[in-house]
Structure 1
Amino acid sequence: MLRLLGRRILTAGTAIAAVIAGSLLTAGTAAPAHAAVPDTIPLKITNNSGRGDQVYVYNLGTQLSTGRQGWADASGTFHPWPAGGNPPAPAPDASITGPAAGQSTIIRVPKFSGRIYFSYGQRLVFRLTTGGLVQPAVQNPSDPNRNILFNWSEYTLNDSGLWLNSTQVDMFSAPYSVGVRRADGSTTSTGRLKPGGYNAVLNTLRGQSGGWGNLIQTRSDGTVLRALSPLYGLETGALPASVMDDYINRVWQKYSGSTLTVTPFTDQPGIKYYGRVSGDVMNFTNGSGAVVTSFQKPDASSVFGCHRRLDAPNDQVRGPISRTLCAGFNRSTLLTNPNQPDSGSGGFYQDSVTNHYARAVHAQMADGKAYAFAFDDVGNHESLVHDGNPSEASLTLDSFN
């Protein structure tokens, strides 16, 4: 997933690596090329939201053939961003008029890696720095998009096909689902909430002790805009920094006297790493007993962000181990299963100290799948559709009720 913190800047190559990282790290091999994938494919946007607001759509990211950042218009034509400034300069208006309630519109998306934003009632505000595009960061109360109702999907379209996902890594907001129609006419979709699921997620957070209800941001007119991810809840002070300490301490205590076995690749069950805690460090060894990587005892930010002390480089050792650890911490399975990743979701989020945001989101998804934290794709629990030869993609703005 695309996970950019604070004032976020989309840099060339970041999104494609993030969107397909789960597939590549799980399988260990890249998807085969499909020369039949055209330069653009149709994206059908359907507005089932029930809202009367004008919808604005944006297709922002990186052109894969050149590595340039920019935006695509409704026809799929790429437009590179002009040079930015310091302070950031306003970006050109890249908005596309979206469909009215009950209507659909079709735009074309090029071979691109980035985000499809959509907003209700107001255009989003984008700016350009000398380093690239500054995207909305609504955990910052002064962000110009703070009071706009919006959300986004992430995708990569290349010669190997389409990867398209819904995401709640940064926030849970305006509901939507994504889908793909294959060349044979069959379709698959994901990201749709259960009936009443939108309000159920919010009510679960409100009812969870420990400050989880503070993640919800509301506009002055009473409109609920979003629930921030717990990572941003830490940054804003909505959640206490100690929110995961008890679970982390129990994990560290357990594996001071026993071994955590990580099997990071589903297609390579013979590759295993063994973790034992010594002081504030968990050392992982390979089958020969050699230490291959070590992790400092994480804090809540490291857990929720899958970064810092749980950093996951795009390699074949530390990254896959870290991804597995991060998933185990967020799903609170590390104490109940010393063999990770856990194969089934039945035991996820059962500890009283867990990622209650991810728990609430997954519980209300019609298929149980979501990207509620960065490495929610460990074990294939993510809301992702992929096809090597797509004929059409879809993004449906779903009902808030």
Structure 2
Amino acid sequence: MLASLTHRLLTAAAAATLLGALFTVGSAPAADAAVPETIPLQITNNSGRGEPVYVYTLGTSLTTGQQGWADADGTFHAWPAGGNPPTPAPDASIPGPAAGQSRTIRIPKLSGRIYFSYGQKLDFRLATGGLVQPAVQNPSDPNRNILFNWSEYTLNDAGLWLNSTQVDMFSAPYSVGVQRADGQVSTTGRLKAGGYNAVFDALRAQPGGWGGLVHTRSDGTVLRALSPLYAVETGALPATVMNDYIDRVWQRYATTTLTVAPFADQPNTRYFGRVSGGVMNFTNSSGAVVTSFQKPDASSVFGCHRLLDAPNDQVRGPISRTLCAGFNRSTLLSNANQPDTSSANFYQDGVTNHYARVIHDRMADGKAYAFAFDDVGHHESLVHDGDPQQAYLTLDPLS
């Protein structure tokens, strides 16, 4: 059963990818900043739910490359060896605060996730390649009927990057924050009043199968909305859901040039895309072809992978990130110069990533990580500081 979930392993490579993505939106820390080995994380339970809360700090040490977990004091513990089929992981849970209460723990220097669950501990397993993360799009996943969520973070000598994420699913709401050396606190990820239920209501009301993203437990508890990537992969959302927009993009750029300037600090670095023979070829300013893309499908668009793969390089990856953001936000037809970073232009086409549209619309500051490259143009829900004094994770109302 769990062996099929090994694609969810949190490997050192995945941690490095996360770190790289977070660094793209970070700023350099002060030269004399000294980030301690652990910093306090204040967890506040404003959920209004009475069940016990369990918290987990899991990730990869950026010093040793070991995968493991941290206890409430911030001490890192490497996972033992796993097996095939995966074996139960040691209980890494930390009792969280009761409703209306706060608890402060410490988080160490690593790249990983802070999970929290309501009413039941999460079931983690260890495969031969490392930790198996929950994959609730799989009907056999033991965590499928648990209400839970997670935040992603990296803490290293350059500071703290802490986000709220909806890349995989929209579920139990929370916001994140960081206190700076001057005492100011920066926060993000909080929904508008009533925003939690409003997201589910809007998805159910959206024609075209978007209501299929919503998962409800047998007791009536709404657990989550799956990302459209997983909804397409599981058949909950039609695989053709983006075809009309993709086709129109490919038709337009057979006769028009798509100009991509992927680096905000390098406006003169531009690439030029034209479709020929069903393939979008990108040339540089010298006219040389630097990379090409086959026409993507909905999975490639929603997942920013496969036919829109984004390697960690300086050419294809940045172009692909820009294309992915343009497809998800449906700005590729309205603007031949990308990225289009004005949120007023996002999601205006009838064929778009309605999951991302709905979530951004319900966020108090409009920020979210609703797809992998939602940070293009800085629309992601992320806090960062080079000299963090304290981090915050607030469990928000499920209403």
TM-score (norm 2): 0.97
> What's 1:58 paired with?
56
Q: Is the 8 A contact 2:188 2:382 kept in 1?
A: yes
Shift of 1:400: 1.2
Shift of 1:236: 1.1
Shift of 1:63: 1.1
> What's 2:10 paired with?
10
Where 1:294 maps in the other structure, the secondary structure is strand
State whether structure 2 residue 265 is matched by structure 1 residue 264.
no
> What's 1:306 paired with?
304
Unaligned runs of 5+ in 2: none
> What's 1:106 paired with?
104
> What's 1:186 paired with?
184
For residues 300-329 of structure 1, give each alpha carbon's deviation from its aligned partner in whole angstroms, at most 9, with x where no partner exists. 000000000000001110000000000000
> What's 2:73 paired with?
75
Where 2:245 maps in the other structure, the secondary structure is helix
Q: Is the 8 A contact 2:29 2:385 kept in 1?
A: no
Give 1:217-296 correspondences, 5 Å limit: 217-296=215-294
Q: Is the 8 A contact 2:40 2:391 kept in 1?
A: yes
Separation in structure 2 between the aligned mates of residue 93 and residue 17 of structure 1, nearest angstrom: 27
Shift of 1:69: 0.2
Q: Is the 8 A contact 2:28 2:386 kept in 1?
A: no
Paired-residue identity, %: 77
Which one-letter code corresponds to 2:253 in the other structure?
Y
Shift of 1:64: 1.4
> What's 1:89 paired with?
87
2:334 to 333, 336, 343: 336
Separation in structure 2 between the aligned mates of residue 17 and residue 11 of structure 1, nearest angstrom: 10
Give 1:128-147 correspondences, 5 Å limit: 128-147=126-145
Separation in structure 1 between the aligned mates of residue 355 and residue 6 of structure 2, nearest angstrom: 20
Q: Is the 8 A contact 1:46 1:396 kept in 2?
A: yes
Give 1:155-194 correspondences, 5 Å limit: 155-194=153-192
Separation in structure 2 between the aligned mates of residue 264 and residue 250 of structure 1, nearest angstrom: 22
Shift of 1:30: 6.9
For residues 191-221 of structure 1, give each alpha carbon's deviation from its aligned partner in whole angstroms, at most 9, with x where no partner exists. 0000010011101100001110010001000
Separation in structure 1 between the aligned mates of residue 322 and residue 21 of structure 2, nearest angstrom: 13
Q: Is the 8 A contact 2:67 2:78 kept in 1?
A: yes
Number of residues paired by the alignment? 395
Separation in structure 2 between the aligned mates of residue 347 and residue 19 of structure 1, nearest angstrom: 29
Shift of 1:237: 0.5
Separation in structure 2 between the aligned mates of residue 33 and residue 39 of structure 1, nearest angstrom: 17
Where 1:10 maps in the other structure, the secondary structure is coil
State whether structure 2 residue 197 is matched by structure 1 residue 208.
no
Shift of 1:85: 0.3
Shift of 1:14: 1.9
Where 1:390 maps in the other structure, the secondary structure is coil
Which one-letter code corresponds to 1:115 in the other structure?
R
Q: Is the 8 A contact 1:262 1:324 kept in 2?
A: yes
Shift of 1:33: 6.3
> What's 1:49 paired with?
47
| TM-align CA RMSD | 1.4
> What's 1:199 paired with?
197
2:363 to 349, 353, 365: 365
Q: Is the 8 A contact 1:177 1:395 kept in 2?
A: yes
Which one-letter code corresponds to 1:57 in the other structure?
V
Separation in structure 1 between the aligned mates of residue 214 and residue 121 of structure 2, nearest angstrom: 22
Shift of 1:235: 1.2
Which one-letter code corresponds to 2:264 in the other structure?
T
Shift of 1:12: 1.2
